[in-house]
């Protein structure tokens, strides 16, 4: 073996030893670091916090009594913390990690309610953007579209809109449209094929039928508003129906 090759081998071995020593030192330093506290970063929904930071701290304090100052980094149960917080009805996502300063940082997002289920014989609930049904918050109330009626109990029992998946696009259409979001205040759902709309202006209850072809139905209602009710008055008719295809019935 010539001197040039031997030199290269020795340099390589030296670098491996140095790198190994550095890694070992870094791991040792990491093991010596300890837990200092919790930083909670919670994204509001339209400026509202349905779950408060103190509530999160109380949950963690009860579930992880060992989470105290001085706990080694490698003993901090990050995955268990995420799993426990995801059990909260209003927490949509959680990412937990440890900073160099020893703080457990929690990045969290809340579920966004887009409708409220109102029941005379049971607690109210919210429907989220994902179609999940969750309980209401004891702290804050979100002013959203209200749903009620005989069929609501079935949806509540399932915990999702799986029994009526076509309902979510209808709710989204109403809530995302500036005019309809302010004009349509309630949906009364007696069955999949019997939805009725309550208006902010106008005393008539609009028979909507099922949740399908909602865009066509709202176009017909819009024509009624602009071309007929604007001339005859908002209470000119006692009965309005758009449940039949390509028709609007006024009586």
Enclosing domain of residue 60: 37-110
Q: In this predicted model, what pLDDT tens digit does every residue of 100-141 receive, in sequence order?
A: 888 899 999 999 999 999 888 888 899 998 888 888 887 777
Instruction: Give the model's confidence band at 31: pLDDT under 50 very low, under 70 low, under 90 confident, else very high.
Output: low
Of 110, 128, 157, the last residue of a domain is 110
- Regarding whether 193 and 72 lie in a shared domain, the answer is no
Residue 20 lies in a domain: no
pLDDT at 39: 94
- Regarding whether 117 and 89 lie in a shared domain, the answer is no
- Regarding whether 130 and 239 lie in a shared domain, the answer is yes
Of 92, 110, 128, the last residue of a domain is 110
- Regarding whether 229 and 124 lie in a shared domain, the answer is yes
Map the chain to HEC letters.
CCHHHHHHHHHHHHHHHHHHHHHHHHHHHHHHCECCEEEEEEECECCECCCCHHHHHHHHHHHCCCCCCCCEHHHCCHHHHHHHHCCCCCEEEEEEEECCCCEEEEEEEECCEEEEECCCCCCCEEEECCCEEEECCCCCCCCCEEEECCCHHHHHHHCECCCCCCHHHHHHHHHHCHHHHHHEEEEEEEECCEEEEEECCCCCCEEEECCCCHHHHHHHHHHHHHHHHHHHCCCCCCCEECCCCCCCEEC
- Regarding whether 123 and 226 lie in a shared domain, the answer is yes
Of 54, 80, 110, the last residue of a domain is 110
This prediction has a pTM of 0.77
- Regarding whether 238 and 118 lie in a shared domain, the answer is yes
- Regarding whether 96 and 127 lie in a shared domain, the answer is no
- Regarding whether 172 and 225 lie in a shared domain, the answer is yes
pLDDT at 154: 80
Q: In this predicted model, what pLDDT tens digit does every residue of 153-205 receive, in sequence order?
A: 888 777 778 888 899 999 999 999 999 999 999 999 999 999 999 999 888 89
């Amino acid at each position: 073996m010539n001197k040039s090759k031997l030199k290269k081998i020795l340099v390589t071995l030296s670098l491996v030893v140095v790198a190994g020593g550095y890694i070992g030192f870094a791991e040792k330093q990491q093991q010596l670091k300890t837990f200092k506290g919790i930083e909670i970063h919670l994204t509001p929904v339209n400026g509202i916090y349905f779950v408060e930071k103190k509530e999160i701290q109380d949950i963690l304090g009860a579930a992880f009594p060992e989470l105290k100052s001085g706990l080694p980094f490698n003993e901090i149960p990050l995955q268990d913390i995420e799993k426990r917080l995801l059990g909260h009805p209003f927490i949509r996502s959680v990412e937990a990690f440890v900073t160099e300063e020893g703080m457990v940082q929690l990045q969290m997002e809340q579920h966004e309610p887009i409708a409220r289920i109102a029941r005379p014989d049971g607690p109210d609930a919210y429907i989220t953007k994902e179609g999940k049904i969750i309980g209401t918050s004891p702290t804050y109330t979100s002013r959203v579209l209200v749903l009620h009626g005989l069929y609501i109990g079935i949806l509540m029992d399932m915990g999702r809109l799986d029994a009526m998946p076509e309902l979510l696009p209808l709710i989204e259409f109403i809530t995302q449209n500036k005019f309809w979001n302010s004009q349509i205040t309630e949906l009364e759902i007696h069955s999949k094929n019997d939805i009725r709309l309550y208006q902010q202006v106008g005393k008539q209850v609009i028979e909507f039928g099922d949740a399908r072809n909602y865009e066509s139905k709202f176009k017909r209602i819009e024509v009624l508003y602009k071309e007929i009710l604007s001339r005859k008055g908002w209470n000119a008719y006692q009965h309005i129906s758009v449940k039949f295809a390509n028709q609007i019935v006024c009586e």
